[in-house]
Amino acid sequence: MHPLFPRTTQLAQDWIAQVLRHGDVAIDATLGNGNDALFLARCVGPSGKVHGFDVQAAALVASSALFQANQISENNYTWHLLSHGAMQDVVAPPVRAVMFNLGYLPGEDHDVITQSTETLRALDAACSLIEPGGIITIVCYPGHEGGDSETAEVLAWADKQGAVWHVVVYEKRATLRKAPILIAMQKKGADT
């Protein structure tokens, strides 16, 4: 059972699970250790495809090991040693879901973080790839150096997307440390 107020990463997965279908294409824009990518792979099933992006080779290695341990076929995923800002250059539409988990790669160099300029470029790319009814989730971490400004810029960007997207923000307040913030966006269409 999930707590009444779940972690942002769990809530992002819960919302995506309601939208993503077997056979769909999904993107993990910030691959990290591969946990979101594995979740996406289970959602799209053996007939779907997951693309993962990261600028650190360690992320691709860790994610490959996770997928092999979970017996996910190499036909169902492709890793890109590229910035998430390049997703539009290598993935063709339509895409049903894109997950962003900003910040740094746990267990690696915390000085290597997502940068707002590249993240905003990636968000624009994700918007162009997503089909109507599709979803983008963005978990922002204002609690680390550089995270405050990136979070503020992503929130400002999201506030301007209402013409084409349903946009929600989930944020725990009154916490001892700055809590992660989840922004979720579903592309408007005939049925949304």
Residue 136 within any structural domain of the chain: yes
Q: Which domain holds residue 151?
A: 8-187
**Which pLDDT value is given to residue 90?**
97
Q: What is the DSSP letter of 177?
A: S
Domains held by the chain: number? 1
Residue 118: give its domain's CATH number.
Answer: 3.40.50.150
Residue 69 within any structural domain of the chain: yes
**Mean pLDDT of successive 10-residue segments in the chain (192 residues)?**
82 97 97 96 98 94 97 97 96 97 70 80 97 97 83 96 95 84 92 68
**Which pLDDT value is given to residue 112?**
66
Residue 57 within any structural domain of the chain: yes
Residue 148 within any structural domain of the chain: yes
Q: Are 24 and 97 in contact (CB under 8 A)?
A: yes
Residue 192 within any structural domain of the chain: no
Q: Are 60 and 52 in contact (CB under 8 A)?
A: yes
**Which pLDDT value is given to residue 111?**
67
**Which pLDDT value is given to residue 66?**
97
**Which pLDDT value is given to residue 173?**
84
Residue 3 within any structural domain of the chain: no
Residue 97 within any structural domain of the chain: yes
**Which pLDDT value is given to residue 146?**
74
**Which pLDDT value is given to residue 77?**
98
Cβ within 8 Å of residue 143, ≥6 positions away: 177, 178, 179, 180
**Which pLDDT value is given to residue 143?**
77
Residue 1 within any structural domain of the chain: no
**Which pLDDT value is given to residue 147?**
79
